[in-house]
């Protein structure tokens, strides 16, 4: 069954505790935390202090998506805040292998994210060191954008590579995933879907979270 990682980017931040309880009831597998620096992406969100606060109210694993320049500067801060997976962008970290090793040295899982225009060849030589690859299916920066269809090809191709090489990594997709398109996207070969507005726009967040977990 596909795992669901709700992104709290679209949550009601004035009532974060209540919203996270609903995700728990709905069976969320991870909480996806979108960290933006106003530099790598044209938007600013939150950092380690907020993540640390949320760590006190839930045991769901934290999937931290860093949309920040030179993420290697902040790895330790996000580990201390309670991250279980730390994902950095290939476009934002020059010495990618070093950054991956730094994440793993803390006993945390390491992921790499690719923007829609970035080819899979950019991670060819680090694949074997990764726990997760995050395929961006929108240009990062905002919730509620439209899914980019050409990214399906990238997911299929990565699935093929992972199976052929028998690699032990998870494939995750992020952006524009809704009830009316998630099945065909999951079928491209995903292990995890990130869903933001597709969950938080619902009247009933618990029920909506459950709906995305239905096997395809």
- Minimum distance between the CB of residue 51 and ligand DX5, rounded to whole angstroms? 14
Query: What is the set of active-site residues?
Result: 34, 174
Cα–Cα dist 216/197, whole Å: 21
Considering the rule CB under 6 A, would residue 7 count as an interface residue with ligand DX5? yes
> Of 196, 208, 209, 212, which one interacts with ligand DX5 (CB under 6 A)?
196
For residue 103, the partner it binds in ligand DX5, Zn ion, none, with Cβ less than 5 to 8 A by kind, is: none
- Minimum distance between the CB of residue 114 and ligand DX5, rounded to whole angstroms? 12
Helix axes 205-212, 16-25, angle to 10 degrees: 40
Stretch 159-178 residues interacting with Zn ion (CB under 5 A): 174
Q: From 6-14, 20-28, 102-110, 115-123, give the range in contact with ligand DX5 by CB under 6 A.
A: 6-14
Q: From 34-42, 50-58, 95-103, 117-125, give the range in contact with Zn ion by CB under 5 A.
A: 34-42
**Upper half-sphere CA count for residue 28 (Cβ side, 13 Å):** 29
Residues recorded for the chain: 216
Cα–Cα dist 127/161, whole Å: 10
Distances (CA, A) of 50 to 56, 68, 77, 86, 141: 10, 16, 12, 16, 19
Nearer to Zn ion, 35 or 79 (CB): 35
Binding mask 32-71 for ligand DX5 (x = CB under 6 A): x-x------------------------------x------
Q: Are 112 and 134 in contact (CB under 8 A)?
A: yes
End-to-end alpha carbon distance in the chain: 8
Residues that bind ligand DX5 (CB under 6 A): 7, 9-10, 32, 34, 65, 138, 140-145, 174-177, 194-198
């Amino acid at each position: 069954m596909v795992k669901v990682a709700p992104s709290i980017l679209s949550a009601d931040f004035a009532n974060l505790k209540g919203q996270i309880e609903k995700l728990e009831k709905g069976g969320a597998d991870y909480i996806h935390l979108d960290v933006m620096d106003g530099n790598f992406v044209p938007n600013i969100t939150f950092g380690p202090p907020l993540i640390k606060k949320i760590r006190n109210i839930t045991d769901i694993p934290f999937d931290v998506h860093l949309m920040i320049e030179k993420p290697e500067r902040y790895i330790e801060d996000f580990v201390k805040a309670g991250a279980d997976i730390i994902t950095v962008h290939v476009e934002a970290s020059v010495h990618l292998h070093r950054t991956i090793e730094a994440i793993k040295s803390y006993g945390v899982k390491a992921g790499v994210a690719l923007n829609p225009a970035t080819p899979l060849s950019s991670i060819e030589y680090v694949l074997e060191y990764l726990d997760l690859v995050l395929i961006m299916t929108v240009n990062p920066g905002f919730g509620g954008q439209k899914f980019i269809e050409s990214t399906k090809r990238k997911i299929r191709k990565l699935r093929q590579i992972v199976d052929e090489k028998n690699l032990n990594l998870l494939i995750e997709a992020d952006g524009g995933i809704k009830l009316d398109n998630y099945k065909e996207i999951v079928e491209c070969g995903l292990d995890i879907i990130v869903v933001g507005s597709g969950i938080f726009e619902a009247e009933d967040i618990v029920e909506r979270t459950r709906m995305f977990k239905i096997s395809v």
